[in-house]
Structures are given as C-alpha cells and as structure tokens.
Amino acid sequence: MVTTTATNPNVTNAGDFVFMASFTDSFQGAVMAQFAIDDLHITTAAVITRSGDLYTEGISEFFALNFKKLGGEIVANEFYEGDPSDFTAQLTSIAAAKPDVLFAAGFVQDIAFITQRARAMSLQNAAGEPTIFLGADSWDSELLFDNEDAEVEGSFFSGHFSPDTNEPTARAFVDAYESIYESTPTGGVAVSYDAVKLLFEAVERAGSLDPDEIREQLAATENYIGATTIASYNENHHPTKSAVIFTIENGEKQFHKQIAPF
C-alpha cells in the first residue's frame, strides 16, 4: 500500500507493506512552526483544532510542540467537535489571549466558518494588528479559495506541491493534467499521481509481482522524481521530501517558498 494524502506518521504502523507518498505531519508541523518564528517573527500563537480526528489533532500537536521548542508561546488551545457553524466560544477565548497567529487545523468548511467569525470579531494580537491565520495541507482546496464567506486573505499554509513549478517532470505532469481536466492540480492530486507511479516503478524494478520484492524496491526508492520528489524512505517508510508554503493573495493561492527536508 502506498498512501496518497495521509500525513499522520502513525499510518505506516499498520504494517511493513505500508508506505507514504506524502510528507508527515511531524515534518509539516515543524515547517509551519519554524516559518512562523523565522519568517513572520512572531512569538505567540493560538491553536484551534477539530477534535476526534487523527489528522487534525496530530498536526496541531506537532505545530504546538515545535513552536514551543523554538521559543514561542501557545497562548490558547481550543477544540471543537463535528461540523459546528458557530465558533464564538472558542474564538472569544482566543481573542482574549491576543495571539500573533492562529493555527487552524480543520477541514475546508471549518476554515471558512472559523476565519469568517474571527475577522468579524476583529481578532488581533497585543499590538492591535490582525492575527495572521496559519494552516496545513487540508487548506489546499479550491473549495476554500472559492468560498466567498472565507476570510483567508494574507494567510499562510503548507502544501505538498506547487503547480507553478519549473521542474521538467513536474511541469509535464501539470501540463498533462490541465489539458485533460481543464483545471489546475492541487497537492492532493500530485501525491495521488506519485503514489501510483511509485508503485509502478517498484514493480518494474522488481521485475515481478511478488509482494516481498515490490516492498523491498519501494523501501529502496532513491531520488524519485514525479509530480513531487522523494530523496529516499526511512526505516518507518516515511519519505524524505520538501514542503511548499503558500499564501493567499487576491483570493488566490500563491507560491511563497519551498522548504527543504530537515
């Protein structure tokens, strides 16, 4: 099995035949924490998390742990359940803490409601400046950018892949996808393509459909280049690969920077 958009590092604990095409939440959580400290030069953060979900709880935990390790302070940590449309209680508590950034770990519809309500409340930091919203790869969806209720202008989030890439193999993937589907591929599409290609190439190298031989070839993957790139796999079958940080400008996702593995 090669997972597509699954990012929780515990996924591969399911067995010795499970590999990930995506980076792990431990990596993207560290990426966003370091970006907040080093690039945004902030010191306080609040976190709001959809509870009861392995992905959302995991990415929030990794962001908070890394943010604190880097010297930042988590001034509020709020949770919500299910699909609420009213985040007043959680955001009131967060507003009282006046965070520089709010890391929102939820799904697309959650983010639209959270950001809309936060801006209506004029969520600000201690200096009276608008709190910056941060997110993870779940934000990478046209459903969010096209949602007129979402207030995500100026936000930053991590992703797997930028369609603005100039890398030849990735560029060919983007061009082919756009010609077929008349839309731009997101990070989820890119890693889904990679999951299939990784398995196909492992079968080719093995010259066999024997499961053990295919597993060995997947584990031995080096310098894979597809829509994204994978330098290698570690002993946990987690890929060593980079992440992308996006910002949202004029209602559209824009490439901000690429973060190499660390």
pLDDT in tens, 109-129: 899 999 999 999 999 999 999
| Predicted local confidence at residue 28, as pLDDT | 97
Q: How far is residue 201's CA from residue 105's CA, in Å, rounded to a whole number?
A: 34
> Which residues make Cβ contacts (< 8 Å) with residue 210, sequence separation at least 6?
none
Same domain, 175 and 192: yes
Mean pLDDT for the chain overall? 96
d(CA 5, CA 136) in angstroms, rounded, equals 12
Span 192-210, pLDDT tens digits: 999 999 999 999 999 999 9
What confidence tens digit (pLDDT) does each residue in 209-254 have? Answer: 999 999 999 999 999 999 999 999 999 999 999 999 999 999 899 9
Q: What is the pLDDT of residues 66-124, one digit of tens each?
A: 999 999 999 999 999 976 778 999 999 999 999 999 999 999 989 999 999 999 999 99
Q: What is the pTM of this model?
A: 0.93
Predicted pLDDT at 119: 96
Domain range for 213: 2-23+164-240
| Within-domain flag for 150 | yes
* Same domain (yes/no): 76, 148: yes
Check whether residue 90 and residue 194 sit in a common domain. Answer: no
Q: Give me the number of domains the chain comprises.
A: 2
Give the 3-state secondary structure of residue 21. coil
Of the candidates 142, 159, 176, which is a domain's last residue? 159
Confidence of residue 154 (pLDDT cuts 50, 70, 90): very high
28-43 burial string, b = 16+ CB within 10 Å, else e? bbbbbbbbbbeeeebb
For residue 256, being part of any structural domain is answered with: no
> Do 211 and 172 fall into the same domain?
yes
Q: Could you give the CA distance from residue 157 to residue 190 in angstroms, rounded to a whole number?
A: 17
Tokens of 74: 């988590």
Q: Are residues 114 and 204 in the same domain?
A: no
Asked if residue 80 lies in contact with residue 90, where contact means CB atoms within 8 angstroms, the answer is yes
Residues 52 and 155 in one domain: yes
| Residue 245 counted as domain residue | no
Report if residue 28 sits inside a domain. no
* Last residue in a domain, options 114, 130, 159: 159
* 17 within some domain: yes
pLDDT at 85: 73
Write the pLDDT tens digit of every residue in 18-55.
999 999 999 999 999 999 999 999 999 999 999 999 99
Shared-domain flag, residues 146 and 172: no
Q: Do 125 and 88 share a domain, yes or no?
A: yes
Residue 229 is part of a domain; what is its CATH number? 3.40.50.2300
Q: Which of 127, 159, 191 is the last residue of a domain?
A: 159
Return the pLDDT at 231. Answer: 96
Position 171 confidence tier, pLDDT thresholds 50, 70, 90? very high
Residues 212 and 154 in one domain: no
Whether 154 and 59 map to the same domain: the answer is yes
Kindly state whether residues 177 and 225 are assigned to the same domain.
yes
141 shares a domain with 58? yes
